[in-house]
Amino acid sequence: MADTTTRAKVRWGLLDLAVVVFALTPVLWIMSLSFKTPATLTDGKFIPREWTLENYRTIFATDQFVRALVNSIGIALIATSIAVVLGAMAAYAISRLDFPGKRMLIGVSLLIAMFPQVSLVSPLFEIERQLGLFDTWPGLILPYITFALPLAIYTLSAFFKQIPWDLEKAAKMDGATQGQAFRRVIAPLAAPGLFTTAILVFIFCWNDFLFAISLTSTERSRTVPVALSFFTGASQFEDPTGAICAAAVVITVPIILFVLFFQRRIVSGLTSGAVKG
Amino acid sequence: MSINATPAGADVAADGTDSRSGRHATVPAQRDNRRRKVPLSENKRAERKLGWLLCAPAALVMLAVTAYPILYSVWLSLQRYDLRFPAEREFIGLENYVTVLTNEFWWTAFGVTMLITVVTVAVELVLGMGLAVIMHRTLVGRGIVRTSALIPYGIVTVVAAFSWRYAWTPGTGYLANLFSDGAPLTERASSLAIIMLAEIWKTTPFMALLLMAGLALVPEDLLKAASTDGATAWQRFTKVMLPVMKPAILVALLFRTLDAFRVFDNIYVLTSGANETSSVSMIAYNNLIRGLNLGIGSTMSVLIFITVAIIAFIFVKLFGTAAPGSDDGERR
């Protein structure tokens, strides 16, 4: 009996290993490239023979990358906060209140989750040019909020349904209004769900490439994924590979930290929304 | 599809106003009561109002940024409108549609997109199921597996695409040196294979997470009972797990199919659409931003929208009740 468990454990262990290798190889590869010296960059070795931080020094010395990083962080943070607040309001209403039009809202957010984003690129390009939003932060924040909202609403409704709502009733019996009950009692209980949703939404905004490349034209609002695709190296004779890899690693670090620290939350956030659906 | 949402949404608002004004109308209160079993109490009305108030901002933003532009896009698609020649802007009816639909580049891109969608979703379903089972049932290192699986999900697609590009660049890349003598990203078949590989790597974990949600619903007792009755592992999988997981599988398939159809980032970085590897998103983007042809770009936008609507419609028709959110409307 003990023998079979050991063998089962080994078997699972090997499968685990396969998953880990499959998932991490591309990430380790781009990290490895970012630490290579220009001379060894094209040697095709998976592990650098000579290590250097030169690539990181290069990108942080250029305005191009630093500006893009600021844009990425600013835009993603603002879009995330707005989407989570609006999403929380709607999710609260969906999970707690009875009102006509609820199904409609769920339907609309489902449709938007499936919406082909490229279909919006042409009209938004033209509309934003007319409104003066083209190549600005709000010009990107708006579509990000829109496409993050379905995710936020689904995840948050799933979380809200698990909250012990009797506490709300108790608060209302003590004379609190529905609004007060929401702010004082439920909001603190909902904080973990809000936080998880914020991470998921942030990852979505951080990731976007299509809107960012279509609705921006200068460093004013270009985000890192777009800046990466325009990198050319310090001079035209210089190969930008090392710089691109270093920049790529920099924007991967926050994702890896989120995943390392909040794996459990992220998994529960993504799966709870799906079970409900 | 979201076009439908607007009038219906307006209905809801009208309905609400009716019920309120109906109370003040000349209809005797009793009849009013008979018609709706429970008369709207003060509390109930406050609840409705709060519900609309809380949902309004989200609904407005979503509709303003999708419904209006898509309608505007239809309008633009009926015009000759090239930003390089703005003077020639005029209404030309369906001419743009004829231009696009008789263009072989469009159909090549359409075929490429379909191919990528079908192949990646099929492979991801199999791999994702395997990964889901591993993440759900492994006896050792569950945390490590789940954490590593989340990295492809979270990582910026462009970053991953660059990693694959350099891996397949002759000389630089570890994979290029291992598997090929030429430059795989300069030939059509190998380029498409690499694009699909990159897509599969990136999105299998998402598929697996959705499937894992379904796995969690499979009752442990049922599996044990089947096991005692002598069912093999494969029988337990097909006869017990799959039926329970069906809704989760359909949701995962629907989401991934529509997501795969939008493929853009990987192609942009890996090939820029060279050697006929463009997807529909890629040529719509090229017509708009590089060609500055708003008329044709919008026509493609509308066509892509219609295609996605058709795919979604087929899924919902085929699998009806499995549509996500269908049971969310009930009050708990």
Which CATH number fits the domain that encloses residue A135?
Answer: 1.10.3720.10
pTM for the complete prediction?
0.85
CB contacts < 8 A (A, B): 343
Query: Is B150 within 8 Å of A259 (Cβ atoms)?
Result: yes
Residues B62 and B102 in one domain: no
Query: Is B281 within 8 Å of B264 (Cβ atoms)?
Result: yes
Nearest to B159 by CA among A227, A101, A169: A227
* Nearest CB to A89; choose among B54, B76, B265: B54
Can you give the residue range of the structural domain that contains B245? 98-322
Of B45, B77, B109, the residue that ends a domain is B77
Beta bridge partners of B79: B91
- Give pLDDT, residue A17: 93
Q: Give the Å distances, CA to CA, from B142 to A160, B131, B151.
A: 27, 11, 15
Residues A39 and A74 in one domain: no
For chain A, the maximum distance between any two Cα atoms, rounded to a whole number of angstroms, is 74
What residues contact residue A21 under an 8 Å CB cut-off, 6+ apart? Answer: none
Most confident of A211-225, B7-21, B310-324: A211-225
ipTM of the complex: 0.90
Residue with tokens 């034209």: A217
DSSP B83-119: TTSGGG-EE-TTHHHHHHHT-HHHHHHHHHHHHHHHH
Cα dihedral angle (A93, A95, A101, A104), rounded to 10 degrees?
120
Q: Is residue B90 part of a domain?
A: no
Chain B residues in contact with A20 by the CB 8 A cut-off are 144-145, 148
For chain B, the maximum distance between any two Cα atoms, rounded to a whole number of angstroms, is 88
Model pLDDT for residues A178-228, shown as the tens digit of each residue: 888 878 887 788 888 899 999 999 999 999 999 999 999 888 999 999 998
Do A248 and B152 lie within an 8 Å CB cutoff?
A: no
How many structural domains comprise chain B? 2
Tokens for B246? 């069906």
Burial class (CB in 10 A: 0-12, 13-18, 19+), B175: buried
Q: Give the Å distances, CA to CA, from B261 to A262, B157, B275.
A: 30, 15, 19
Mutation target vs A (from B79, B155, B217; most A CBs, 10 A cutoff): B155
Residues A135 and A210 in one domain: yes
- Give pLDDT, residue B142: 87
Residues B50 and B123 in one domain: no
Of B12, B43, B77, the residue that ends a domain is B77
pLDDT higher than threshold 50 for residue A35: yes
Residues A3 and A119 in one domain: no
- Give pLDDT, residue B174: 83
What residues contact residue B182 under an 8 Å CB cut-off, 6+ apart? Answer: B170
Query: Is B246 within 8 Å of B322 (Cβ atoms)?
Result: yes
Tokens for B4? 């439908």
What are phi and psi for residue B140, nearest 5 degrees?
A: -125, 145
- Give pLDDT, residue B7: 34
Chain B residues in contact with A145 by the CB 8 A cut-off are 61, 65
The chain-wide mean pLDDT, for chain A, equals: 87
Helix axis angle, B142-154 relative to A2-34, nearest 10°?
Answer: 30
Put simply, whether B131 touches A (Cβ < 8 Å) is: yes
Q: Is residue B82 part of a domain?
A: no
Nearest to A16 by CA among B164, B147, B125: B147
Measured at the alpha carbon of residue A247, what is the angle toward residues A246 and A251, in degrees to the nearest 5? 120
Can you give the residue range of the structural domain that contains A153? 61-276
Q: How far is B28 from chain A (nearest CA, A)?
A: 24
Do B62 and A108 lie within an 8 Å CB cutoff?
A: yes
Mutation target vs B (from A45, A95, A114; most B CBs, 10 A cutoff): A114
Rounded distance, CA B295 to CA B95, Å? 10
Residues B129 and B168 in one domain: yes
CATH code, domain with B276: 1.10.3720.10
Put simply, whether B18 touches A (Cβ < 8 Å) is: no
State what percent of residues in chain B have pLDDT above 90: 37
Residues B104 and B70 in one domain: no
Rounded distance, CA A243 to CA B179, Å? 26
A 202-261 residues with CB < 8 A to B: 203, 206-207, 209-210, 213-214, 224-225, 228-229, 241, 244-245, 248, 251-252, 255-256, 258-260
- Give pLDDT, residue B16: 39
- Give pLDDT, residue A63: 84
Mutation target vs B (from A41, A47, A111, A119; most B CBs, 10 A cutoff): A119
